[in-house]
Amino acid sequence: MKFTFAHNNFNVIDLEKSLDFYKEALGLTEVRRKEAADGSFIIVFLGDGSSRHKLELTWLRDWEKDSYDLGDDEFHLAFETDDMEAAHKKHEEMGCICFENKEMGIYFISDPDDYWIEIVPEK
Tell me, what CATH number does 87's domain have?
Answer: 3.10.180.10
In a domain, 86, yes or no: yes
Give me the chain's average pLDDT, please.
93
In a domain, 67, yes or no: no
In a domain, 68, yes or no: no
Backbone angles phi, psi at 39, to 5 degrees: 80, 10
pLDDT for res 72: 65
User: How many beta carbons lie within 10 A of that of residue 118, not counting itself?
Assistant: 16
Structural domain total, the chain: 1
| Whole-number percent of the chain with pLDDT over 70 | 98
pLDDT for res 74: 65
> What are the residue numbers of the active site?
118
Q: How confident is the model at residue 29 (pLDDT cuts 50, 70, 90)?
A: very high
Residues 75-87, mean pLDDT to the nearest whole number: 93
In a domain, 97, yes or no: yes
| Cβ pair 4, 46 in contact under 8 A | no
In a domain, 28, yes or no: yes
Domain holding 80, by residue range, is: 7-62+73-121
pLDDT tens per residue, range 89-106 = 999 999 999 999 999 999
**pTM of structure:** 0.90
In a domain, 1, yes or no: no
Residues 5-19, mean pLDDT to the nearest whole number: 94
In a domain, 83, yes or no: yes
Residues 75-97, mean pLDDT to the nearest whole number: 95
In a domain, 23, yes or no: yes
pLDDT for res 19: 98
Residues 20-44, mean pLDDT to the nearest whole number: 98
| Cβ pair 19, 59 in contact under 8 A | no
